[in-house]
Amino acid sequence: MGVTLVGGSVMGPFAGWGRLRGVDARQPPVDEVHIGEASEADTPDVLFVEREAFGAQEEADLVRALLSDPSAEPRLSLLARERGRPVGHVLFTAARLRDAPGSGSIAILAPLAVVPDAQGRGIGTALIELGLQLLRESGVDLVFVLGHPGYYPRHGFEPAGRLGFDAPFPIASADADAWMVQALRTEVIGVRRGQVVCADSLNQPELWRE
């Protein structure tokens, strides 16, 4: 599978995380999967992907809310297309550590979605890897996710609770390993800790049950 960035630049709303470098501006061949930053005009396609992947409206509603939530900025919204068809989406939104203002840049990955007939071909992996690369280049230190403990560790995430990071709402102990973190700068782990504060649209207890 080829993955190519489209558009040459991923500035827009993501610019708040800093200037991005090294983004590939090649025009992709038609038979590849292309990943680029979703624009406002892409929103219907983004919501389509969310509905198809989850088979429900809830995640699409959450994404719609996050895309217009000032407290979620800066955010990174990446859309994957295959021959023009929207097939995958990932959203990273801003977070912070409570009682540690200005302590560095933090993001939450939520949600990640690939439409059913495109799953299992590396599109989810490509969305995560590109997202992490762009966040790293923009100076983000920590990325959190509440997700499947069988999926995210293969992308470098590890359980966050035992590293001293509490979720915005308590996670049931049986699901503790679903709350995960990845340090994009290794020296951050062991130095920073505390409770993560997420964007207002994510700040609802029912969203934090795995």
Ligand X SMILES: CC(C)(COP(=O)(O)OP(=O)(O)OC[C@H]1O[C@@H](n2cnc3c(N)ncnc32)[C@H](O)[C@@H]1OP(=O)(O)O)[C@@H](O)C(=O)NCCC(=O)NCCS
Q: Which residues bind ligand X (CB under 6 A)?
A: 53-54, 111-114, 119-125, 147-148, 150-151
64 class by beta-carbon count within 10 Å (0-12 exposed, 13-18 middle, 19+ buried): middle
CB of residue 131 to ligand X, shortest distance in Å? 12
Pick between residue 115 and residue 140 the one whose CB is nearest to ligand X: 115
Which C-beta is closer to ligand X: that of 52 or that of 73?
A: 52
Distance CA 46, CA 39 (A): 10
CB neighbours of 46 closer than 8 A, spacing ≥ 6? 38, 63, 67, 77, 79, 86, 89
CB atoms within 10 A of CB 135: 26
Residue in this structure with the two tokens 């955010």, named with its chain if needed: 75
Report the residue number whose CB is nearest to ligand X. Answer: 124
Say if residue 125 is exposed, middle or buried (CB neighbours under 10 Å; 0-12, 13-18, 19+). Answer: middle
In the bound complex, what is the minimum distance in angstroms from residue 151's beta carbon to ligand X?
4
Q: Which is nearer to ligand X, 20 or 50 (CB)?
A: 50
At 197, which amino acid appears? V
CB closer to ligand X, 153 vs 164: 153
| CB crowding 101-120: b at 16 or more within 10 Å, else e | eeeebbbbbbbbbbbeebee
Helix (H) or strand (E) holding 82: strand 76-82
Nearest distance, CB of residue 56 and ligand X, angstroms: 10
Nearest CB to ligand X, comparing residues 121 and 193: 121
The CB-of-19 to ligand X minimum distance in angstroms stands at 29
Task: Choose between 118 and 197: whose C-beta lies nearer to ligand X.
Answer: 118
Minimum CB distance to ligand X, residue 114 (Å): 4
Question: Shortest gap between Cβ of 50 and ligand X (angstroms)?
Answer: 9
Other C-beta atoms closer than 10 Å to the C-beta of 201 total 19
